[in-house]
Amino acid sequence: MKKAFFILLAVIVAITSCTKTEDEAVPESVKASIQGNYYGNSGVFYVKKGIADTLSIYSTALVNSDKIQVEGIVVSSVVDSIFGRGTAAAQGISQKPVQLSYKLYNANAANNEYFPMTYSSSSISMNVEKDGQTHTIKIDFHSSSETTGFFWYFPKKNRLDMTLFSKQISMDGKEVTHFASKPDTTMKVEFRFPISLQKR
């Protein structure tokens, strides 16, 4: 009887251990400290034949327990890449907000100097006028499903570092396959949006 009891107890402990989520391994103090107002830089770059085009602007963000609202994602380079240089500036298009759902997990790295995150992002939509017509440009982003290495929170420095990757750029519901500033139309362009934010 005793043996059966201890076997049952061992099974329960094993099941409980297996169902423990990554989030539960993150200290409550870290979950609390990440929340607040941030400021810093948001950028965009893409590579064509080994040449990187880059742009960076001032940005702010608000972080709560499971969402990050970034107020400044650079979109002007995306617009100019489709319609030609100067289009975004002429129409006052510079940056757009984006909201991310996130979840911290404990990688047990460097004595908890940093905590990676899994995340998903909302899309960005904007209207652009060209030759008397209004076009809707949409940017969809990749979501993480495991460790990505591009989303980190540093609690001792009160800093967030992340990079969003474009999944698809579309115009009026159709994927954009030709970019005005892209010399090779057979090469798929992936825009990357690095963000570095410091807590206020």
Residue 94 CA neighbour count, 13 Å, CB half: 9
**pTM of the predicted model, to two decimals?**
0.78
Domain ranges for the chain: 27-199
Question: Which three-class secondary structure state does DSSP give residue 181?
Answer: coil
Contact 180, 82 (CB under 8 A): yes
Strand runs labelled E in the chain: 36-48, 51-63, 67-74, 95-104, 115-121, 124-130, 133-141, 151-154, 159-171, 174-175, 192-199
Digit-coded pLDDT (tens) for 5-36: 344 344 434 444 433 445 458 889 999 999 99
| Interior angle at CA 187, CA 169 and CA 43, nearest 5 | 50
Digit-coded pLDDT (tens) for 84-139: 888 999 999 999 999 999 999 886 655 678 898 889 999 999 999 999 999 999 99
